Structure 1
Amino acid sequence: MYIQVSEDFKKKSKSAILAIGIFVMVYILLFLFTMLLTVACIGGGILLIITKPMFLTLMLGIGAAGTGVFIFFFIIKFLFKKHINDRSHLTEITRTQEPALFKMIDEIVEEAGTDFPKKVYLSYDVNASVFYDSSFWSMFLPIKKNLTIGAGLINTTTKQELKAILSHEFGHFSQRSMKVGSYVYNVNQIIFNLVNDDQSYRNSVESWANISGYFSIFAAISMFITQKIQWVLTKMYSFVNIRHLALSREMEFHADEVAAHIAGSLSLEESLLRIELASNSYNNVLTFYESRISKNQASKNIYAEQSFVMNFFAQLNEVEIKHNFPNIKLSESGLFNKSKLVIENQWASHPSHEERITRLRALNIIKEANHEPARNLFRDFEQTEEKLTAKLFSRVKYQKEKINLELNTFKAEFEEQYTNDSFDRVFNSYYNNKNPDFTVDKNQIPKKLSFDDLFSKEKVELVYALIALENDKNTIEAIVNKELALKTFDYDGQKYSASEAHKLLPVLNKAIADVKSQIQQNDSDIYNYFSTGEHGRKNEFIQAYQRLAEFDHQYEEKLSVYTDMSNATVFMSTQTPFDQIKHKFSLMIPFEEKLKNEIRAYLEDGTASVDLNEQDIKDMDYYIQNDLIYFNNNQYLESNIQLLINAMNIYPYLLSRKYFRMKKNLLDIMKEWKISPEMEKVN
């Protein structure tokens, strides 16, 4: 199979190679400079020692020579650098273990016209990738790639979709024309190591400086010169990298085309659209268990739980099920993105899903498809899932023997937690990113409105339109202030130059004011709708509304307790003289008293037990009951410092959780209007 690369690919390949050529020229000049400097330093050091042999000149001569050696080593250190990928999270699988999967890879390799991977690994997550260990010599020597397939991906795709995804990965290395992209990637990685990966070099210079005070002077000179060289290389890296990323985006399109020819356009499109939901579901399961470490709870099979969560969210959002998997539509994937601003992200290594899908649809390559679950490629995927889950959770340190939750227990507890931590769907996400407006006009003449009118799709879209407009305005202001460097951008289908950006600000300000006015009117209608009538819950609504309004008014003042403590303790993260440390801790005392009083209120009213685990409650109780000493005998007392930091971090969390519960309580009261026919009749 041969697929002609696009003109854009050729153009960006030439641009990337030209940039590398310019970098090489600059590097050669720097190399010659450092070589001459090294010769001068070594020669000068030897001459100094010979001219006047004594201890002082000996140390100065060695120091001068050392400066030259270190500067020269900096410019050639990448020759000895090898990038080794961490494999501790990977599990190797072989052809003997999984012959059906390897047969699929054989087919892909043959059709793509590339080599079979050196090794095949399973990872935990929702992804697939090709990787290899690289060094300077990778540019000249052939290197075999390794394939990684995420169990979370296998678990949420059909066989055809998995084939499309793997075909995309091999598409990057399938043809001679793609070797350019691979070469540019290798060179770019080497430049990155040269510019950024200098910790071992710094450690070597510091070790040399610690030998003698004489050497420390020359070490400082070495670091100064190498920092200047690094500054030049950094500028050149940006110049090269921006062209590499432009090429990288074209490589993604080309790899998609390879995948489409092997597995069909639709299979890759549907897997691309589902992968975000699959990944979010996997991460939701991880977050669930992170909150249960203190209870020593673990998963028996995290992938069975991922499937449940994915289908749970699909059902909540009324997503169509196709081939036993959620079938996400392109329109649904950006449901709440109302931005009219389009800026090509020149620092992105991948094009957006929307751009990729547009091209896949243009190709419209249809292939005979196998819609069985990809997990059926494995002899016993459930056993594989359980082994991977056990390996994943073996990294977690539990206080006691861990308890593996059964799937039904997980389902019940996850649904309960989700219900407790989210607002009812009858509000259609109206309040997910906004709070009730406490400045609305009250006691207006009631309108003929219904619950569904107040939280209709049109009203919800107003909220997300406002968010988009405000974000767009911030971006346009950044362009006007030259904080965001670009030449052109599109807004609402029209192209603008950066110098014209200021013309949009009045337009955006007017649009923001109009949408805000409409939202405020709707919020006013909401309040008056629920606060009128003779039903018994009217007073309950008004009281809950007023309590939330009062807490909302106090919120910033309460949050300032955390801000003041953060400012008062910032010295702990900087190098501070001992005498000043004691003084700064004394200045912190009044702020800490306020923090303790606020936490004490949560512990006494019992709400902390809802949000904190047992150990955190014990720690906070101990913290507020004792006057802790944080610094003694010229050293910080780490255990007490940790208690202080935990208290500072827990307080804003408790504050936000209290606000959430009060808001949820108000919305739960309002929800009754939706589910109670009698209440609808009142209005």
Structure 2
Amino acid sequence: MQTNFTYPPMPLGVDEKIIRPSAAFKTEVFKVLGTIIFFILTYFTLVGLALGFAAVCIAIAVLLVFTITKFFTIMIGLGLAGLGLMVVIFMIKFIFSRHKTDRSGLIEVTEKDQPTLFAFIRQVTRETQTPFPKRIYLSGDVNASVFYNSGFWSMFLPVRKNLQIGLGLVNSVNISEFKAILAHEFGHFSQRSMKLGSYIYNVNQVLYNLLYDNKGFERALSNWGSASGFFSIFAHLTVGVINIIQFILQKVFLLVNKSYSRLSQQMEFHADAVAAYVTGSQHLVTSLYRIEAADVCFNQLLDHYKNWEDDNLMPDNLYPQHQVVMHQLGRQLNNPVEHHFLQINAQTTSLFHQSRLVVKNQWASHPSTEDRIVHLNSLNIHSETIQEPAWSLFKDAEKLQQQMTVKMFEEVVVAWSPVVLDLTAFRDKITKEEQDYSFDAAYKGFYDSRDITIFSTTEQAQQALQEVNAPNKLEDFLTEEACRLPAQVSSWQRDVEVLQKIANGKSGIKNLDFDGKKYRAKEVENILSELTRDVSEAQQKLKQLDIQLFQFFYRQALTQGKAEQLKSLYQQLFEAMKDTEGDEKFYESIILVLHPLFTQTLALEAAAVLLDELANREKNLKKRIIKFLENSTTQDHLTEKQLVKLKVYAQAEDPIYLEGETVNEHAVSYLMEMAKVFINLSTEKAFKVKKHLLHTQLTLLNTSQLKPEY
């Protein structure tokens, strides 16, 4: 089938050496092979010991029963035999487990459906010298990946790999970048070491089954133990033996996966080299930067619809709306949109990553984006850029986008008759939300995502009157350095938390980089002391800026007779902040009670104790909601639907969480839902009080005080 399409040229004169597996790559392959062999030896040793243990138990049981034939000895004999058999069953139970791959969220496409896409992909496979994918699937997200059926026979027979392309990714890149991404994936096609992935997959299936997928086995063990007091003793002994086996297997699990993680990182570097070889370095670099932002925006888009679920909304087409969210991010970052695409670079990402700490994640299957970009830039391969959107390769692109949108919102479509939101309505809606849930641009983000420091407004008002030669423009306070300070404090605080875990020896991390220098974990105390001091100093600077800005606005308010109004607004904010802090702690206490119910298999008595505590928490929640509703000011922050929902809950009878021996899951879910509604409203109330305060402050200024002079 003849198709015409734009195809980015392959760079000329590039040395093929760059796509040969490195020495580090080969080393990691041998290490992974070693860990797989070690697992096989360990597993069969444990199976042999389990069989030997079972044989001894059965032999003792037979000897006991035939030597002393009494009810007591017969029960002990049966218990011993059961102990041995249960251990053997535990070791081989993974053979009977079944795992079905869920592809319900994917759309398979054929060459008949998408001739241009297939022709494009075929050309990329020729250049990368890799086989054409067995199947091509489309997903809705911002991603691309290679996968294959990792069944038992895939460890021994050649298996053709499948290609998965996320339409969110297609929505975010041009043709040159799309080619680079596909070439990266086909770089994996060329790696014979990917077969090791099949071995690791099957090893992990066995280990996961033995370590974590034990509900059926635990149920059988419980039934056996409850059949008789005699059997109960042996059921407990079985648990003890299995705990020893699991302890050994957990160590093997860590060893196998840590080794494979290191190989996976080398495989990523090699696949990047393949992509650079056939497309040039810069196209994969720009796509890596933009894909991170595109993924964030795609998740924000889905979050919008999750937040609007009470309004029963769904998009007519996700992908134009995804672009709107990306362009919105561009405006917020003052980043240009060129050729319909948001331009992201290292300077942009540095705004979000102000950490002074670099810790290599020993479990990461991919290198960091920064490391990949350094590697790609070192290859320094240039080629022409084709700015045409990747969508131009897809036949009936809009129809395909709508089809994927319906698939992603299938549950909504089936359960309800949703209201479909078109692009214009969506843009209007999020523009209004952006206005409602952001602060005035004049503050340059200084007050975003943080609390204003609480201080005495009376004391600082008096201090404001004593200031001589104080700045009289907002710009004088909100310097570039000052506006970076909140994000800096937040990032450094996260660094402190990481360092504390390393200092406590709970992280398993042995080396780290701090401020560009390498340190060992045993040296972390000195770094922690230095960083804690720096955080404290930065917080003090932030507090001083908050106070100085209050004093600045207070002086403006005095000249207009609005000083007391400003002080009152600050007091309202501080009270709302304290209320929200208390509400958040209360919400966390509910989560703490619920956590064991969702994550552990509890005895009835233990579950009853937790559910009693949950009932007490619910009474407290209702009291807080009633107090919330009695406040006329608070009600101004509620929509009609929110008000009705809270009133219905507050007036409802207290639920029964334990009905006989069954947990009332509906009651627990309802409590969880209302706790979330309450904490969201509490947070929103504090935000709106803060927004009103900040907006009121700006009304006190004249134009010359808002804008800098040039």
Tell me the TM-score normalised to structure 1 length: 0.89
- 1:89/1:578 CA distance change after superposition, 3 Å: closer
Once the two structures are TM-superposed, the CA of residue 309 in structure 1 deviates from its matched residue by 1.2
The answer to whether structure 1 residue 624 and structure 2 residue 661 are counterparts is no
Partner of 1:445: 467
Structure 1 position 599 matched with structure 2 position 631: no
1:189 Cα deviation after fit: 5.3
SS in 1 for 2:605: coil
Look up the match of 1:473: 496
Query: What residue number does 2:8 align with?
Result: none
Kindly provide the amino acid, as one letter, of the partner of residue 359 in structure 1: H
Are the equivalent residues in 2 in contact too, given 1:296–1:398 (CA < 8 A)? no
Give the direction of change, closer, same or farther, for the CA distance of 1:237–1:641 in structure 2 (3 Å limit): closer
Aligned to 2:9: none
| Alignment: residue pair count | 678
Secondary structure class of the residue paired with 2:146? strand
Q: Which amino acid letter does the alignment assign opposite residue 522 of structure 1?
A: L
What is the DSSP-based 3-state SS (H/G/I as helix, E as strand, rest coil) of the residue aligned with 1:396?
A: helix
Give the alignment of 1:171-570 within 5 angstroms. 171-176=187-192, 179=195, 183-184=199-200, 187-188=203-204, 190-206=206-222, 217-396=233-412, 400-439=416-455, 441-442=460-461, 443=464, 444-445=466-467, 447-533=470-556, 534-535=559-560, 540-557=565-582, 559=584, 562=587
For residues 144 and 11 of structure 1, the distance between their equivalents in structure 2, rounded to whole angstroms, comes to 26
More displaced 10-residue stretch of structure 1: 508-517 or 159-168: 508-517
1:416-453, CA deviations, whole angstroms, 9 ceiling, x for partnerless residues?
A: 11221222332222112322223274414151242122
Decide which moves more: 75-84 or 25-34: 75-84
Partners of 2:493 and 2:279 in 1: how far apart? 42
Q: Deviations over 1:255-288 (max 9, x none)?
A: 1111111222111111110012211222122112
SS in 1 for 2:103: coil
CA distance in 2, matches of 1:213, 1:528: 76
Which of these residues, 650, 664, 667, is aligned with residue 691 of structure 2? 664
The CA RMSD measured in Å over matched residues stands at 3.3
| 8 Å contact from structure 1 (residues 265, 363) kept in 2 | yes
Q: 1:55 to 1:428 in 2, by over 3 A?
A: same
Find the aligned partners of 1:498 and 1:505 in 2 and give their Cα distance. Answer: 11
Question: Hey, what's the Cα distance between the residues in 2 that align with 1:483 and 1:570?
Answer: 22
CA distance in 2, matches of 1:318, 1:99: 39
**1:78–1:190 Cα contact (<8 Å) kept:** yes
**Are the aligned partners of 2:608 and 2:658 in contact in 1 as well (CA < 8 Å)?**
no
Alignment of 1:45-194 (within 5 A): 45-48=61-64, 61=77, 63-79=79-95, 83-176=99-192, 179=195, 183-184=199-200, 187-188=203-204, 190-194=206-210
**Stretch moving more, 221-230 or 159-168:** 221-230
Change (3 A) 1:167 1:177: same
- In structure 2, do the counterparts of structure 1 residues 564 and 18 end up closer, same or farther at CA, with 3 Å as the change threshold? closer
Equivalent runs, 1:22-33 vs 2, <5 Å = 22-33=38-49
In percent, how many aligned pairs have the same letter?
32
Report the Cα offset of residue 560 of structure 1. Answer: 5.4
Q: Deviations over 1:45-98 (max 9, x none)?
A: 455555567777666555544433332233234455564321111111111110
Q: Distance in 2 between matches of 1:600 and 1:72?
A: 60
**Cα deviation 1:132-172 (Å, max 9, x = unaligned):** 23234432222222211111111111122122112212212
SS at match of 2:412: coil
Tell me, yes or no, if the aligned pair for 1:630 and 1:641 is still in contact at 8 Å: no
Distance 2:214 2:441 in 1: 52
1:140–1:204: structure 2 CA closer, same or farther, 3 Å change rule?
Answer: farther
Q: Contact 2:485/2:538 (CA < 8 Å) preserved in 1?
A: yes
**How many angstroms does 1:117 deviate by?**
2.0
Say which structure, 1 or 2, has more relative contact order (CA 8 Å, 6+ apart): 2
Conserved 8 A contact 2:657-2:664? yes
Could you say if the C-alpha distance between residues 166 and 673 of structure 1 is closer, same or farther in structure 2, counting changes exceeding 3 Å? farther
Note closer, same or farther for the CA distance 1:14–1:47 as it changes in structure 2 (3 Å cut).
same
Cα 1:565–1:324 shift into 2, 3 Å: closer
Structure 2 stretches of 5 or more lacking a match? 1-15
Instruction: Return closer, same or farther for 1:394/1:631 CA change in 2, 3 Å cut-off.
Output: closer
Residue range with higher mean Cα deviation, 258-267 or 53-62: 53-62
Name the CA distance, whole Å, in 1 between partners of 2:697 and 2:522. Answer: 49
Q: How does 1:7-18 map to 2 (within 5 A)?
A: 7-18=23-34
Q: Partners in 2 of 1:387 and 1:178 — Cα distance?
A: 33
* Contact 2:36-2:199 within 8 A present in 1 as well: no
Amino acid at match of 1:18: G
